[in-house]
Structure 1
Amino acid sequence: MRPRDLALAIVVTAIWGVNFVVIHVGLSSMSPLLFCALRFGVAALPAVLLVGRPQAPWRWIIATGIALGVVKFSLLFAGVAAGLPSGLSALVLQSQVVFTLIFATVLLRDRPGPRRVAGVVLAGAGIVLIATQLGLDRPLGAFLLVVAAGAAWGLANIAMRKASATRSGPEGLRPDRPRPGADNQLNFMVWVSAVATPPLVLLTLTVDGPAYVWHALQGLDLVAVGAIGYIAYLSTLFGFGVWGRLIARYGAGTVAPFAALAPVFAILSSALLLGEGIHWYDLVGGAAILGGVLLGATGVRTAKLDLPADAAPASVRPIERV
């Protein structure tokens, strides 16, 4: 990679890593559901008017919007709000590699190779090590919420893999639509954000109540607005736009492994900006998780639409062809 593009890849993963600090900050001013609704709504508008019509079938955009936007991020934000440290949340969220393998095997009849299985086992061991250290500063309920978010991410990966299928066959794209490639990642995520926004708004009004929503919106300060803008514009629009161009230029196999840096940046930024402690078991467990992710990623062929591992809100893991 050219030095400039290498720097861009690192900058994007740093943005996705700092996302977890921003989530922590934003949740101090609003509920998890309201934060999610604002995040996706701001990302979708006015971008949905600028990116053109969807380049993937509606059924998979809707499926991804529900699994990724509504379920995954609601659970992730709830887990952080319930007390799981931000840096640790970024690591636990990588449980999605385990769920993706399970769902791909059961739903798509995939046959994972030995390297992929070994990577999942290694990542699973890291998650188990972290789970053994749960306590007052890392509640079990919050941990389980983020693990559930990882499961939702795994389902979203299946939907996104379907979205990147070839035109032929019952799962294919319409002949009049171009195959979604790396240069259409931004288009895909903007429409996913648009699909996720209405149900999130309804959930927020139902769970939090209109009075709370109105009061919270009136009370948003510059810090809260900045948190929403960071996640919507920097993490989603800028991040996916740059990431898609890098994949188009160098291929997913070269670019996707950089996404494993996002949890590293999450841990470092959480320690520096939030004062979160870093323990030996987090380092060992985190190394196992990231090692498992990279081991599995280097053992599969990736589809052209491969999407990045946004350990940030908002970011999706590479769609892998097992």
Structure 2
Amino acid sequence: MVVAVLWGGNFIALDQGLGHFPPFFFAGLRFAVLLPVLLFVPRPQVKWRWLIGYGLFFGTLQFAFLFVAMEIGMPTGLASLVQQASAPFTVVLGALLLREKLTPVQLLGISAAVLGMVAIGWHRAQTATLLPLLITVCGAFSWALGNLCSRKAEAPNPLHLTLWIAIVPPLPMFTASTLVEGPSTGWHALTTVLDSPTGIAALTGLAYTSLLATVIGSGLWTTLLGRYPASTVAPFSLLVPVVGFSTAWLLLGERPHPFELAAGAVVVGGVLLGSARINRRRAALEPAPV
């Protein structure tokens, strides 16, 4: 739930960052600022293919798709919702590729959460164009593939894995920025950040998305994926749009419709059902009353 709060607020940070930086450059900068930290952090003892796969799918493609979608008109609150399609993607891929089993209660909870998410998406999609929605869904699928790479990595120290994926996104992101946005556009935005009226907000957004969302949020998420099945952890990401809608309402004036609030309650209830395996495991470990 802490991760959901951090990631839900992250969409406000992304909105502020994209108000000043072009999307591909901002996506690369998000991870490039973490590279000096790696001088003091040992490389995680995992196979290179899972480290690079996690960095490619979770760190590179997910945010490339998301940032472009937001840049071309994806509303902040709706982006926080559609991105959580990664949860059912992760559950399905985990069952197909990792042979993880689902309980009937989990299936019921996940189905309810997805139903609530689809209802909000359908309602929001009435005022949004199709292309940003499709691009955001591509980002969600990339996130799901990254979740599986993280789980397969089985990192002894998940925080080290989260930090070391920072070696992957900068090069492809800055290359894409040079080819698509222009060789000097991003660097000009960086060198003039303190002189721009949107610069301070963009730097604050960069700090939030790099430290709170990536280091702390993704570090906790990676830890959870290492301890519990993907089908147990992934549904919690469906809480992110509830936080995203709330923060977008308070800070950006994006007021949710009562229908969306009701559907959000269905999402929360579905997540609680989807996490039933954790609750039963905890109950089994507690001593019986004497």
| TM-score relative to the length of structure 2 | 0.81
Which residue does the alignment assign to 2:253?
A: 275
The alpha-carbon deviation at position 204 of structure 1 amounts to: 1.7
Match of 1:41 in 2: 32
1:53 match: 43
Matches within 5 A, 1:75-90: 75-90=65-80
* Residue 232 of structure 1, CA deviation: 0.9
Q: Does 1:215 align with 2:188?
A: yes
Contact kept, 8 Å, 2:159 with 2:222, in 1: the verdict is: no
3-state SS in 1 of match to 2:134: helix
The residue type paired with residue 40 of structure 1 is F
**Quick one: structure 1 residues 119 and 148, their matched pair in 2 at CA, closer, same or farther if it must change by over 3 Å?**
farther
Equivalent residues, number: 269
Report the counterpart of residue 320 of structure 1 in structure 2.
Answer: none
User: In the TM superposition, what is the alpha-carbon distance from 1:300 to its structure 2 partner?
Assistant: 6.4
Q: Alpha-carbon deviation of 1:54?
A: 1.8
Counterpart AA for 2:67 = F
The one-letter code of the counterpart of 1:266 is: G
Name the residue aligned to 1:189. 162
Q: Which runs of no fewer than 5 residues in structure 2 stay unpaired? A: 194-198, 280-290
- Letter in structure 2 aligned against 1:148: C
Deviations for 1:212-271, whole angstroms, at most 9, x for unmatched residues?
223322332222222212211232234456x48997xxx769x96876654333222111
8 Å CA contact 1:33–1:74 kept in 2: the answer is: yes
**Contact 1:83/1:137, CA 8 A, preserved across alignment:** no
Q: Percent identity?
A: 35
Check conservation: 1:116, 1:295, Cα contact below 8 A: yes
* Larger deviation, residues 191-200 vs 66-75: 191-200
Q: Is the 8 A contact 1:94 1:289 kept in 2?
A: no
Shift of 1:272: 0.9
Task: Measure, in 1, the Cα distance between the counterparts of 2:145 and 2:73.
Answer: 25
Measured against aligned partners, the alpha-carbon deviations of 1:116-157 in whole angstroms (never above 9, x if no partner) come to 322332233123212322456433222222222211111111
Pair 1:231 & 2:209 matched: yes
Question: Residues 279, 223 of structure 1: CA spacing in aligned structure 2 closer, same or farther, 3 A cutoff?
Answer: same
Is the alpha carbon distance of 1:233 and 1:290 closer, same or farther for their aligned partners in structure 2, counting shifts above 3 Å? same
SS state at 1:210 partner? coil
CA drift of 1:295 comes to 2.4
The superposition leaves residues 262-301 of structure 1 with CA deviations (integer Å, 9 ceiling, x where unpaired) of: 4333222111110001112322332333333332233369
Decide whether the 8 Å contact of 1:95 with 1:150 is kept in 2.
yes
Partner of 1:98: 88
2:176 pairs with 1:203: yes
Aligned partners of 2:16 and 2:78: how far apart in 1? 16
Find the counterpart in structure 2 of residue 313 from structure 1: none
Distance change in 2, residues 1:282/1:144 (3 Å):
farther
**Structure 2: distance between partners of 1:14 and 1:157:** 19
Aligned to 1:308: none
Pick aligned residue for 2:143 from 142, 153, 171: 153
* Comparing 14-23 and 286-295, the one that deviates more: 286-295
Amino acid at match of 1:139: T
Q: Aligned residue for 2:282?
A: none
2:8 corresponds to 1:17: yes
Structure 1 partner of 2:267: 289
- Equivalent of 2:57, from 41, 63, 67? 67
Change (3 A) 1:56 1:18: same
State the TM-score, normalized to the length of structure 1.
0.74
Paired residue type of 1:264:
V
For 1:291 and 1:82, how far apart are their aligned partners in 2?
33
Q: Describe the shift of the 1:239–1:129 C-alpha distance in structure 2 as closer, same or farther (beyond 3 A).
A: closer
**TM-superposition CA deviations, 1:290-313 (whole Å, max 9, x none):** 333332233369xxxxxxxxxxxx
1:186 maps to amino acid:
L
